[in-house]
Amino acid sequence: MTAKGTFVYGLDKENSLALSFPAQEAKSLEEVLFEEFDAGRGVRVTFHVIIGKASGYRTFYLTAASPLHFAYADQDEVEADGTLLARFRTAITEKRALHFPVERMPEEEPA
């Protein structure tokens, strides 16, 4: 079974949004978000979701003041993925949104 990581946005039970992704993707998102928060910046993140029977997406600008948290199951220790961290950091530097699931994230343009 693949370990899952869950991103939860919002504090109140009725209006919060909970989205699950592979644990390494979630852990990598958590790490880069908090790097940016520690520097006083926010990050745009686009979550691709199924809305009814159609694909859709929601984009959030996440900041340290945003009510969000991460939860992990099925695994005691979850490590961030180095390749994902590099992709996320590049996207943030280039002011592009991060996309989840990661397979929906546009590829970087060659330098």
| Tokens standing for residue 69 | 């948290």
Q: Give pLDDT, residue 63.
A: 93
Average pLDDT of the chain, as a whole number: 86
Q: Quote the DSSP letter at residue 9.
A: E
Report the distance separating Cα 78 and Cα 16, nearest Å.
Answer: 24
The Cβ-side half-sphere exposure at 92, using a 13 Å CA radius, reads 21
Helix (H, G, I), strand (E, B) or coil at 101: coil
pLDDT for the residue numbered 109: 59
Sheet holding 4-9, edge to edge: 17-22, 4-9, 68-73
CA distances from 76 to 29, 49, 73 (A): 18, 27, 8
Q: What is the pLDDT of residues 47-95, one digit of tens each?
A: 887 777 888 888 999 999 988 899 887 766 788 999 999 999 999 999 9
Distance CA 94, CA 90 (A): 6
